[in-house]
């Protein structure tokens, strides 16, 4: 883990963006399409930690971007080229545009200044979405990645961020996946090779600065 000084240098509020990934009601909420993942996000404290980071970002002037995965009712534009997509299409809860399922789940609070980016395709919050150009226009250099899942979307986000030239910071206790022991293994064996791994407390300590 980096020292406080090293992490503080990375997390300059003027050049840092906090990204929440699929922290939506149909994924991590009470009526999730993926109850095992929702339970992992809640029981591990990851969802609460995401909410804490978002609240601190609002207070310190760090920009927050919420990445939401959804699909049209007719499925147009959605992927069908992997088992994951085909299985998702059969779930009883669908992440349909305009429904409660694609609203950000409590206790995460969306502020007026937050950006919400919705994607209709793929696995990554960054690839083929508006996130990258928005980050560049915001002057982002460091992307703090939080949310779900450690199985798919989180590593996708981290890899894409690094490939696009951003420094990725992952608060290890603000992401979740299934089974529960998979997340620390993913962090240790994969994400730690390309991202700066920290804790929610570490990042909160760096966010406690005057608003820019």
pLDDT tens-digit series, residues 5-34: 999 999 999 999 999 999 999 999 998 999
CA angle centred on 66, ends 200 and 59, rounded to 5°: 55
Q: Which of 198, 48, 54 is nearest to 116 (CA)?
A: 54
**Left, alpha or beta for 74 (phi > 0: left; psi -120 to 50: alpha)?**
alpha
72, pLDDT greater than 70: yes
β-pair type (175-176, 16-21): unpaired
pTM: 0.96
pLDDT tens-digit series, residues 23-66: 999 999 998 999 999 999 999 999 999 999 999 999 999 999 99
- The more confident residue out of 142 and 1 is 142
Q: Beta partners for 66? A: 20, 116
How confident is the model at residue 211, as a pLDDT?
A: 45
Q: Beta partners for 118? A: 68
pLDDT band at 209 (very low <50, low <70, confident <90, very high): low
How confident is the model at residue 1, as a pLDDT?
A: 82
Over residues 177-196, the mean pLDDT reads 98
pLDDT tens-digit series, residues 77-128: 999 999 999 999 998 899 999 999 999 999 999 999 999 999 999 999 999 9
CA distance 188 to 172: 10
Whether 128 and 67 have beta carbons less than 8 Å apart is answered as no
pLDDT band at 202 (very low <50, low <70, confident <90, very high): very high
212, pLDDT greater than 60: no
């Amino acid at each position: 883990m980096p020292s406080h000084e090293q992490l503080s240098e990375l997390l300059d509020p003027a050049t840092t963006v906090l990204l929440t990934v699929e922290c939506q009601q149909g994924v991590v909420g009470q009526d999730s399409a993926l109850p095992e993942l929702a339970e992992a996000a809640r029981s591990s404290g990851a969802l609460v930690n995401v909410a804490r980071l978002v609240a601190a970002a609002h207070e310190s002037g760090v920009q927050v971007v919420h990445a939401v995965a959804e699909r049209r009712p007719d499925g147009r534009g959605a992927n069908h080229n992997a088992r994951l997509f085909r299985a998702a299409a059969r779930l009883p809860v669908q992440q349909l545009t305009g429904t409660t399922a694609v609203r950000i789940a409590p206790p995460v609070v969306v502020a007026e200044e937050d950006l919400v980016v919705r994607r209709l395709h793929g696995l990554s919050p960054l690839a083929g979405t508006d996130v990258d150009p928005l980050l560049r226009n915001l002057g982002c250099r460091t992307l703090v990645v939080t949310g779900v899942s450690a199985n798919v979307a989180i590593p996708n986000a981290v890899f894409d961020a690094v490939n696009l030239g951003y420094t990725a910071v992952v608060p290890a206790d603000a992401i979740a996946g299934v089974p529960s022991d998979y997340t620390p293994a993913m962090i240790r064996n994969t994400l730690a090779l390309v991202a700066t791994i920290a804790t929610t407390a570490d990042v909160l300590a760096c966010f406690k600065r005057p608003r820019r």
